Structure 1
């Protein structure tokens, strides 16, 4: 039997402003689940989001590659890199803009993770093809974790 030589699957996590506390814990949860499934996680966030993850995991047990969000967008746009799946964390209009951008420039299967106080309104604004995962989660990540677990995207 020949060894599997297909490229390893990758997943991109697009993190915006970490204003809503659940973002960091859900990002670490997803990174852990995907790594356990043998899928390589890459984090693309703004400076504050990336710093929160680096401080939370200083020995990088969970996080691996981490980069500036604008650099990731540029690499995908220039066709230098792409991913199999992309999770965009959304708690405001800027998150929707990033998700729509990813839906246009990337071949990845797009998942929108919508959370926060205005989650229903934000979900109604998403008009591009994607898998929507949403929960009214601000401080407690469990409602969003439950919604994610129902989809189990690491098993896809």
Structure 2
């Protein structure tokens, strides 16, 4: 006869289960509790990001100046990097789109998400050095050839303080 791997109670040899009925139920309950905890942790993290996002509300410009903004202090150059990859299904469908033509929504969505992430990180970097704006923002996409089909987005700009 086989044994339950948790409590070592004898179970039927031909059973495909490795735990007795009681231990399976206990294990399932523990897994459910863990997933509930992780859902709560995700909600707390999301609320924290929303709160931080409200604080990190820097003005972002691709130009160095604007007629209605008076820059009082240039602090430093800030950068944010976001490396992202396409999974094999996105690669497959992008390859098909390349042959038959058309837009690849999956690739566009991945690139849009990475741009938003990089710009948010740039704002956060500026906030951490005491700036309330980033000017001269530049986005550069770099293909990482050694890492499979990955692309890195680098956002850079100058963290500044502007008058209110």
TM-score range with shorter-chain normalisation?
Answer: under 0.3
Normalised TM-score (structure 1): 0.19
More contact order relative to length (CA 8 Å, sep ≥ 6): 2
Larger radius of gyration: 2
Structure with more of its chain in strand, by fraction:
2
